[in-house]
Structure 1
């Protein structure tokens, strides 16, 4: 583990940018940016287009280590280059931003009110490549759609089981059991989730470290105990589909919780913007998310 990167993620001021849209979410992300599906003819063209978008974000003078601690990449992005360097090396060496990698393969069908992660049979190989590319940590997402105790228990157990495999490979896992912001029993689901996460943390070996990525809770500061847990390097929050302003307002009320936003970071960016307009728009988004993350 890179100790400088660990220190930065653990104690630095700022947030983690999520640049890891993949598979089915990539066309939507490109469309929001102003690049429609007619602009590319196949999957390779799609990934080339989204890499151009991510490269523009990363190379922007607004995307700086003064406000951004880390960035989560999609596997295809990790394997590509920016100015002759692997994306992860460019982030750390040129920007001072810690690189993470999304490792899950998407969601299974809903059962017991939750969506577990699909199997990851090639995870060991991916973790090896991630280490070779100087990736610090990984993230993997499940979704909770109902306050169903058995389902939430399954989600958390799967997350920690794979998390231990990732930690054993020398990377820091970001455990991400997302609670949908659209459900009526969100607060109840979050209480159940907190209980299951606390249980799993209590059973970890003393030296095992993880990060958590959680939906901003309905009850302010619900996750304070998790933030203080010695196994937890950092707890970051996903925007969950909230518009940027609303996500920032909710985050501000949760002391110690920092952002790991995707859509809320890039929602106002456009392919057609001049470099000056693009940098100004991105900087404003970054500044607002940074301010909400240091409360």
Structure 2
């Protein structure tokens, strides 16, 4: 493990950029960027276009370690290049940004008010390749929709089980038990979730340090115990469907919680913009998210 990266992730000022839209979410991400589905006819063309978008983001002047600690990549992005370097190497060597990799294969069908992760049969191979590509850590997402204790317990158990496999490979896992912001019992879900997360964190050994990605809580500073836990390097927040300004406002009310936004980060940028317009819009976005993350 790169100790310089570890130190920056643990103590750096800024946020984690989420650039990990997968096959299912890529068409929506492209549409928001102004690229409609009639502009590509194959999956390969779709992935080429989303890589062009991500490259435009990563090479923008404001996308650097002054504001951004890390970036989460889609698996295919890890194997592609930016300005002649593999993406993870470009991020760290040219931008000072720590590379992470999304490793989950999507969500299973809802059961007991939650969607656990689908099985990841090739995880060992993916982790081996991630190490070869100089990736620091990983991310994997589950979703909780109802305050069902049995379902929430299953989500947390799976996150930690897979997380330990990732730790054993020498990488740092970002555990992401997302809470649906539209849930009518969101606050109750967060109570159950925090209790389950703390149980599992308390069982980790001193050399098993994780990160957590979580929905911004209903009650300000509700996840302080997670942020302060000795086995947690960092707790980051997803935008979860909130507009960027709303997400920034909610985030700023939670001390020690930093952003890991995807859609909110790229909100307002467009394929039709000139480089000057694109870079100005992205710089404004990064500035707002950064300021909300350091409060």
Give the TM-score taking structure 2 as reference length: 1.00
Deviations 1:19-50 (A, max 9, x none): 00001100000010011111111111100000
Aligned partner of 1:143 in structure 2 is 143
Aligned partner of 2:187 in structure 1 is 187
Deviations 1:261-291 (A, max 9, x none): 0011001100000111001000000000000
In the alignment, the residues of structure 1 paired with residue 92 and residue 36 of structure 2 have an alpha-carbon distance, to the nearest angstrom, of 31
Residue 64 (structure 1) shift: 1.5
Aligned partner of 1:278 in structure 2 is 278
In the alignment, the residues of structure 2 paired with residue 228 and residue 28 of structure 1 have an alpha-carbon distance, to the nearest angstrom, of 36
In the alignment, the residues of structure 2 paired with residue 226 and residue 145 of structure 1 have an alpha-carbon distance, to the nearest angstrom, of 21
Residue 62 (structure 1) shift: 1.4
Q: What SS does the aligned partner of 1:135 have?
A: coil
Q: What SS does the aligned partner of 1:153 have?
A: helix
Residue 254 (structure 1) shift: 0.1
Aligned partner of 1:18 in structure 2 is 18
Aligned partner of 1:82 in structure 2 is 82
1:201 pairs with 2:201: yes
Aligned partner of 2:119 in structure 1 is 119
Aligned partner of 1:46 in structure 2 is 46
Q: What SS does the aligned partner of 1:183 have?
A: coil
Aligned partner of 2:170 in structure 1 is 170
In the alignment, the residues of structure 2 paired with residue 191 and residue 248 of structure 1 have an alpha-carbon distance, to the nearest angstrom, of 23
Deviations 1:118-175 (A, max 9, x none): 0000000000000000000000000000010000000000000000000000000000
Q: What SS does the aligned partner of 1:273 have?
A: coil
In the alignment, the residues of structure 1 paired with residue 243 and residue 142 of structure 2 have an alpha-carbon distance, to the nearest angstrom, of 21
In the alignment, the residues of structure 1 paired with residue 108 and residue 147 of structure 2 have an alpha-carbon distance, to the nearest angstrom, of 18
5+ long unaligned stretches in structure 1: none
Deviations 1:203-226 (A, max 9, x none): 111210100000000010011111
Residue 6 (structure 1) shift: 0.5
Aligned partner of 2:59 in structure 1 is 59
In the alignment, the residues of structure 2 paired with residue 246 and residue 84 of structure 1 have an alpha-carbon distance, to the nearest angstrom, of 37
Aligned partner of 2:269 in structure 1 is 269
Structure 1's consecutive aligned runs of 4 or more residues displaced over 4 angstroms after TM superposition are: none
The aligned runs of 1:247-266 (5 Å cut-off) are 247-266=247-266
The aligned runs of 1:148-167 (5 Å cut-off) are 148-167=148-167
In the alignment, the residues of structure 2 paired with residue 34 and residue 222 of structure 1 have an alpha-carbon distance, to the nearest angstrom, of 37
In the alignment, the residues of structure 1 paired with residue 250 and residue 64 of structure 2 have an alpha-carbon distance, to the nearest angstrom, of 24
Q: What SS does the aligned partner of 1:18 have?
A: strand
Aligned partner of 1:225 in structure 2 is 225
Instruction: Give the CA RMSD over aligned residues.
Output: 0.4
In the alignment, the residues of structure 2 paired with residue 210 and residue 149 of structure 1 have an alpha-carbon distance, to the nearest angstrom, of 23
In the alignment, the residues of structure 1 paired with residue 84 and residue 252 of structure 2 have an alpha-carbon distance, to the nearest angstrom, of 38
Aligned partner of 1:246 in structure 2 is 246
Count matched residues.
295
Q: What SS does the aligned partner of 2:220 have?
A: coil
Give the TM-score taking structure 1 as reference length: 1.00
Deviations 1:63-89 (A, max 9, x none): 111000000000010010011100000
